[in-house]
A = this chain, B = another copy of it.
Amino acid sequence: MSKSLKTARRGGDVASAVADGAGTGAVSRRADRAAERRAAIVQAAMDEFIARGFAATRLDDIAKRAGVAKGTIYLHFKDKESMFEELIRTAIVPFVGRLAVPPPLGGSVRDMVESLARMFLQEIAGTRRADLVRLIIAEGPRFPAIADFYYREVVSRGLAAMRALIQLAVTRGEIREPKLVQHPQLMIAPMMVAVIWKSLFERHAPLDAEAMLQTHLDLIFGARRPT
């Protein structure tokens, strides 16, 4: 089943690239054009799903937004549901790689956690991706496959990495509270709150996530001494 993904590059020449110097930007290679359209569909679908949720999203709208006929969508995806699932997966995968904790280099654990959290705030909480997280929270229960995938690929890995960091910090004496190793969720909780807050309440009361993060880290690692 589910062959339908035509994107597989044939032969070798990936090189007919999208020089796309000046003018029309017309793409010749058939496969390229197809890939381009697929990308447009994915983008459009993402926007629509985020804006309306799964059930309320119309394929007609996705098609229109992607500048494509509805039938074209079905050349790339089996149906609405598998499109949705594949979409989420595709969007998540790029982040999975970074979850392997970078080798505990020289600096303090706090610095490492801080830079990780900063990255998260900038690349997720501050962007449309925050809505993606919200979408997963929203649709998860109705798409167990997605919840499972998300748990396996993101949550469990992320928590494992975080636990390792906490363990290290406890060993080094950077963190006093050893029980924290059992609850790596506590380290991440403020990030989750930030994501949700941005999606729902930002216009009521803007949240200074960076400042909150500092306070959070001070609680866990102890306040930095004022030099």
Contacts and interface: CB of A to CB of B under 8 A. Distances in A.
A134 B142 contact: no
| Chain A residues touching B, range | 35 or more
Interface in A186-227: 186, 188-190, 192-193, 196-197, 199-201, 204-205, 207, 211-212, 214-216, 218-220, 223
A139 interface: yes
Contact of A190 (B138, B179, B186, B207): B186
A193 B214 CA distance: 19
A215 B134 CA distance: 27
A199 to B, nearest CB: 6
19 contacts: A51-B141, A52-B55, A53-B54, A55-B56, A56-B142, A134-B137, A137-B199, A137-B200, A140-B199, A147-B201, A150-B200, A151-B200, A151-B201, A182-B215, A183-B212, A185-B207, A185-B212, A186-B215, A189-B193
Interface of A: 51-56, 131, 134, 137-142, 147-148, 150-151, 155-156, 176-177, 179-180, 182-183, 185-186, 188-190, 192-193, 196-197, 199-201, 204-205, 207, 211-212, 214-216, 218-220, 223
